[in-house]
Amino acid sequence: MRVLVTGGIGLIGSACCKLLLEKGHEVVSVDNNTRKALFGDEANNLANMDDDFSGNKNLELVDADIRNEELMSKIIKNVDALIHLAAQPSHPKSLEIPMEDFQINAYGTLLLLEITRQLNPEIPFAFMSTNKVYGDYPNYFNYKIIGRRYENVALESFNEELPTDRCGHTPFGVSKLAADTYTQEYAINYGLKTATFRGGCLTGKNSRAVEMHGFLPYIIKCALTRKRYYVYGGGYRVRDQVHSSDVAAALYEFIKNPKPGILGSYGKVYNLGGGRENSVSIFETIDAIKAKTSIELDFEDAPERESDHIWWISDLSKFKKDYPLWKLTKDKDFIFNEIIEHYITSLGLPVKLGMEDYFKSKNVA
Ligand SMILES: NC(=O)c1ccc[n+]([C@@H]2O[C@H](COP(=O)([O-])OP(=O)(O)OC[C@H]3O[C@@H](n4cnc5c(N)ncnc54)[C@H](O)[C@@H]3O)[C@@H](O)[C@H]2O)c1
């Protein structure tokens, strides 16, 4: 199979490229490193194109904008599947650049759907959406503090039935919701084999994390580099963490075998996060970093960010029902250790405090 991955040098993109290449497929990545342009050198996603990829003849890296219609038409005409990940990914950033955010997320997605409809309508089309399409609707539930986190009084997790309107979104939530519903409409109206994946906190060492995007790697980076961390809206807030390789595996399951809904059309919507077992509050994160590295994070409370979720845990049962072979393979412990190891080694930090056994087992000097 020849697969187009937009945003292919990003956190999820690089995981998709890795998996697809391992499975013997050809991959075309289209990514112009907008992440670096948006968030600066720290967010340079070219760093993700490491030894895993260099010289691989089955990977074509195209440095281009997904809004280049002529180029994207040539590429889409000749692929067997499309995984669309390219995005302006940050909700606080979208408040600064609402027009650019719309152009990339909403228009960019619509353009890819339309080219696919015109030139290659039979291919599976996976779109990575976000739980921010539900706006701040989750904040209208009741929460109780239990231990070091909030718990939802009524629900174990959120499924896809949560409403998406009559709540605050930020421009990012709106541009992704537009893209998300276009992706559904192109299945319903034109028969495209699409699916929409509403991500929780997607994470892993290839997140070029900055304050505005990449919660877990960013807080770990702050701790290890002794930088002050701002806790927006309180430390009891809960996020579910899913490793990039598990996200890639879910997208791969879909493109291998797209499944229509009961009425026969595609365009299914799935929540995709780490679920309850991989959920963590900000305070629990701070505690875990301390337990693993002995480092006490320097943090300061800051006002709540616009439309930020108090608590989010994804209900994965809809995706698991359609794709029973998929499961989470990376737990919280793995995720924390991988990110800590990444920063210690890549930034050359002289800290292995509390991690000696871990580093020994990985043969890292
Ligand atoms: N990371 C998360 O926590 C999270 C959560 C929910 C949803 N998502 C979604 O998952 C997808 C992948 O996100 P990620 O975490 O890998 O982010 P990322 O920033 O690492 O990857 C996105 C990639 O898209 C590229 N890109 C952006 N605009 C482009 C354009 N116009 N043309 C070409 N390339 C462009 C960027 O350079 C970047 O490499 C995005 O759609 C994002 O909205 C991410």
What CATH number corresponds to the domain at position 313?
3.40.50.720
Cβ partners under 8 Å of residue 141, min gap 6? 152, 153, 154, 155, 311
User: In the prediction, which pLDDT does 350 show?
Assistant: 76
- The pLDDT of residue 335 is 98
Q: Which residues of the chain fall short of a pLDDT of 70?
A: 351-354, 363-365
Binding pocket residue ranges, ligand 1, CB within 6 Å: 7, 9-13, 30-35, 45, 65-67, 85-87, 89, 104, 108, 128, 130, 199, 201-202
Question: What is the per-residue pLDDT for 358?
Answer: 72
Mean pLDDT over the full length of the chain: 95
pLDDT at residue 290, rounded to an integer: 95
Residue 213 CA to ligand 1 centre (angstroms)? 10
Q: Residue 160: its pLDDT value, please?
A: 98
pTM to 2 decimal places: 0.97
Number of domain units in the chain: 1
Which residues, in sequence order, are CB contacts of 235 under 8 Å at separation 6+? 148, 281, 282, 283, 286, 299
Amino acid at 65: D
pLDDT for the residue 193:
98
Three-state secondary structure call for residue 125: strand
Residue 68 near residue 107, CB atoms below 8 Å: no
Q: Which atom of ligand 1 is nearest to the CA of 131?
A: 6
pLDDT value of residue 286? 98
**Is residue 300 classed exposed, middle or buried when 0-12, 13-18 and 19+ CB atoms within 10 A define those classes?**
exposed
Pocket of ligand 1, candidates 4, 9, 11, 39: which has the most ligand atoms within 8 Å of its Cβ, to mutate? 11
The residues, any chain, with a CB within 8 Å of residue 357's CB and separated by 6 or more, are: none
Its domain, for residue 15, covers 2-361
Which phi and psi (to 5°) does residue 18 adopt?
A: -60, -50
Ligand 1 centre from 88 Cα, in Å?
6
Structure tokens that stand for 148 in this block: 């070091």
pLDDT of amino acid 152 = 98
**Cα 87 to ligand 1 centroid, rounded to whole Å:** 4
pLDDT at 354: 65
Q: Say how many C-beta atoms besides its own lie within 10 A of residue 296's C-beta.
A: 11
Residue 34 Cα: closest atom of ligand 1: 37
